[in-house]
């Protein structure tokens, strides 16, 4: 039974991805994704801290 290996097998090494040239559309898309992620993170931190979701502003009275 010495032919068996115990423990977890090592994963096979994969080739590194080639750095390909990105066209302007792909760069703009990735930048937009980063901005959306940052905005979502800021929004979620506001929600967790208990801040109001809407900007508020001046409330109008019910008088006519």
pLDDT at residue 30, rounded to an integer: 92
pLDDT at residue 32, rounded to an integer: 96
pTM: 0.46
Give the 3-state secondary structure of 10-29: CCCCCCCCCCCCCCHHHHHH
What size, in residues, is the chain?
64
The whole-angstrom separation of Cα 57 and Cα 64 is 20
Q: What percent of the chain has pLDDT over 90?
A: 22
pLDDT at residue 64, rounded to an integer: 62
1-28: average pLDDT:
77
User: pLDDT, tens digit, for every residue of 33-55?
Assistant: 999 999 999 988 888 887 766 66
Is residue 1 predicted with pLDDT exceeding 60? no
Do 43 and 51 form a contact (C-beta atoms < 8 A)? no
């Amino acid at each position: 039974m010495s032919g068996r290996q115990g423990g977890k097998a090592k994963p096979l090494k994969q080739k590194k991805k080639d750095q390909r040239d990105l066209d302007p559309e792909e760069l703009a898309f990735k930048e937009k994704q980063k901005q959306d992620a940052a905005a979502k993170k800021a929004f979620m931190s506001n929600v967790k801290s208990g801040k109001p979701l809407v900007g508020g502003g001046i409330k109008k009275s019910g008088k006519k």
